[in-house]
Amino acid sequence: MRRGTNVHALGGFNQIVILDTIRRTRDGLSRVEIAEQTGLSAQTVSNVSRRLLDEGIIREAGQRILGVGKPRIILELDPTGGYAIGVHLDPAVITYVVLDLDGRVVAHHSTRTPSGVTPDRVILDMRDAIEAIIDEAGVDRARVLGVGIAAPGPLDLDRGVVLDPPLLEGWHGVALRDALAAATGLTVLLEKDVTAATVAELWTSSAHERDDFMFFYYGTGVGVGLAIAHEAVRGATSNAGDAGHIIVDPDGPLCSCGRRGCLGDAIMPRRIVGRAISSGLIAAPGDRLDGREVDEGLARIAALAASGDADASTVLDEMADRVAVAVVTIANLLDLDTVVFGGPYWNRVSPRILGRISASVNSSDALVTTHPIAATVSTIGDDVAAVGAACLVLDDALSPRPSALLISG
């Protein structure tokens, strides 16, 4: 449990401790309960609560009778007290969400990622889209706590730089965090896409419900977000989760790494659709295979499989088996008990392959864990990485940290 301190100079820290205590209790808390849980004095809790009420960050939510004595006024987070913007930059789609202080999505917008334009242009488009979604949500701009942005790795998180994502054309060493902060005048936090998706799942599941899991991200690229003991795993440079070169088919096509049958190459949407076109399963939609064509191609393969086409069924069955090999490898390594699937293209293939993946994983001779692996689909949907990016902003604004004590002290 986080304990506060009654030293006057640390009022800011106490405020965050109290907010954090309130927001973690769904039904709200009385001032007496807050004092008990934080170790702060009744006077400190009273003063800070008054300030938070005045600022519209918490609100009174009726009275509750607890044992003997007079009824106590319950305090709860006011969802309209603050908002976070989440942006997800995928090579095919850019998604924007606005979350209230309670983590609920109050506005959503998505747009195709423009191709053939500079990152500077894309960042200016992002600025316009952020301003538009703040307007659309009817949110007081002064209550926007910041912007979280999820982007494909590798990233240099310390410098806020998108280094060289293999699938994001023209993005080499782009200082995305600072450029977007300068363009919007808002605080911006950067996170790897798969980690952001994992953070969103952590926010929407209670502790112990989902503690040790992987988020299997199926976007333009394929990646894995990891959570252990209900915490996102980031690694030494916050680039954890690159599963692209796990070998899932030793006789598969040659990968850029020189080996055969790597996961990313085997199941990447563009590759699946490309192979279906060259084998004559589906017609080529045009000269280029951009995000829209890949999406439509996957949908056509899934529809063919659903109508009983044997070749289309084989394509998706093989994909399911390749995914299962990777899931078993990662689940074994980290003793995970759940895999959550999601990302922009996942829903195209999920109805057909989720059951087969689950069966294949749990019947695998290579699975050494003593418990079954649950295979589920993200309930957050296509917005998952954007929601996770916004959750980072809420976490940053609302979570007490010892470093705040050091600075104040």
Chain contacts with Zn ion (rule: CB under 5 A): 245, 255, 257, 262
Can you read off the two tokens belonging to residue 330? 């990662």
Shortest Å, Cβ 261 to Zn ion: 8
Shortest Å, Cβ 348 to Zn ion: 24
Long-range contacts from 206-213, C-beta under 8 angstroms, 24+ separation: 210/338, 210/340, 212/334, 212/335, 212/336, 212/337, 212/338, 213/336, 213/337, 213/338, 213/339, 213/340
Shortest Å, Cβ 259 to Zn ion: 5
Shortest Å, Cβ 255 to Zn ion: 3
Question: Cβ closer to Zn ion: 104 or 259?
Answer: 259
φ and ψ at residue 405, rounded to 5 degrees: -70, -40
Question: Cβ closer to Zn ion: 271 or 292?
Answer: 271
| Residues sharing a CB contact under 8 Å with residue 272, sequence separation 6 or more, in sequence order | 297, 298, 301, 315, 319
154: cis peptide before it, omega within 30°?
yes
Question: Cβ closer to Zn ion: 157 or 247?
Answer: 247
Cα separation, 295 vs 281, whole angstroms: 15
Shortest Å, Cβ 260 to Zn ion: 8
Shortest Å, Cβ 248 to Zn ion: 10
Question: Cβ closer to Zn ion: 257 or 366?
Answer: 257
Residue type, 37: Q
Shortest Å, Cβ 266 to Zn ion: 9
Question: Cβ closer to Zn ion: 83 or 217?
Answer: 217
Question: Cβ closer to Zn ion: 329 or 338?
Answer: 329
Question: Cβ closer to Zn ion: 143 or 245?
Answer: 245
| Residues sharing a CB contact under 8 Å with residue 85, sequence separation 6 or more, in sequence order | 96, 97, 98, 99, 130, 133, 134, 144, 146, 147, 148, 186, 390, 393
Q: Where are the alpha helices (DSSP H) in 263-337?
A: 263-267, 269-278, 291-306, 310-334
Count of beta carbons in the 10 Å neighbourhood of residue 168: 21
